[in-house]
């Protein structure tokens, strides 16, 4: 056999061996690749069963968590970036547990306790999926901390946007329930875990018909 043919055969054998080794881990690898390339769900078709009844914390309720804690509202994103550089805020990044969607009107920064809450939520949701023997589907964070300037811009096209937005204080973020798409079992598992955390007074949650769960960490 010629050297080129031997080389090609060796490459094929090696590639086949690698694929066979990685095959059992294909789902986990797929999730990590999506996170690394900045994969985001565009829109989504999922619904949020029972959410209008479970998550009823209104604007006034969310404000209770912001009176004595949170950053001062920043005029522009430059102020928010400064708080990040000073260590007062931390950055959220997409990973195998959740996706951070790129947003025009917010920046993916929260107070450290906000990020800790999200990580705890992800772990509890993963455990719930494991207990129910269903595939883990990462949840999608669609909006985080806003500036006064971005809130004004958002108000022009979003009926839920208000001047005194909780998103100005660094403890509030939105999770898109539509991003779960047709994965109803995963949606219900996520809702169950979030509802438990709310009952434990870890957060306030408001259901929004535009596809989001508006969450403020307590």
* pLDDT tens, N- to C-terminus, the chain (218 residues): 566 667 677 777 777 777 778 777 776 665 555 444 333 334 688 899 899 999 999 999 999 999 889 999 999 999 999 999 999 999 999 999 999 999 999 999 999 999 999 999 999 999 999 999 999 999 999 999 999 999 988 766 554 555 678 999 999 999 999 999 999 999 999 999 999 999 999 999 999 998 999 999 99
54 neighbors 191 (Cβ within 8 angstroms): yes
How many Å from the N-terminal Cα to the C-terminal Cα in the chain? 70
Q: How many helices (H) and strands (E) does the chain have?
A: 8, 7
User: CB under 8 Å to 66, separation ≥6 — which residues?
Assistant: 166, 169, 171, 172, 216
């Amino acid at each position: 056999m010629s050297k080129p043919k031997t080389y090609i055969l060796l490459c094929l054998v090696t590639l086949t061996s690698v694929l066979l080794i990685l095959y059992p881990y294909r789902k986990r690898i797929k999730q990590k690749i999506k996170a690394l390339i900045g994969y985001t769900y565009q829109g989504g078709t999922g619904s949020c069963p029972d959410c209008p009844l479970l998550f009823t914390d209104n604007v006034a309720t969310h404000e209770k968590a912001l009176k004595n804690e949170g950053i001062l509202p920043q005029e522009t994103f430059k102020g928010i970036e400064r708080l990040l550089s000073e260590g007062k805020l931390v950055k959220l990044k997409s990973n195998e547990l959740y996706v951070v969607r790129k947003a025009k009107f917010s920046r993916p920064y929260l107070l450290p306790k906000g990020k800790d809450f999200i990580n705890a939520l992800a772990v509890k949701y993963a455990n719930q999926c494991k207990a129910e023997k269903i595939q883990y589907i990462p949840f999608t964070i669609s909006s985080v901390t806003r500036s006064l300037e971005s809130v004004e811009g958002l108000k022009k096209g979003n009926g839920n946007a208000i001047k005194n937005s909780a998103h100005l204080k660094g403890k509030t973020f939105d999770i898109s329930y539509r991003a779960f798409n047709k994965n109803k079992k995963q949606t219900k598992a996520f809702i169950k875990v979030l509802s438990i955390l709310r009952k434990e007074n870890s957060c306030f949650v408001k259901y929004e018909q535009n596809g989001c769960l508006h969450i403020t960490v307590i």
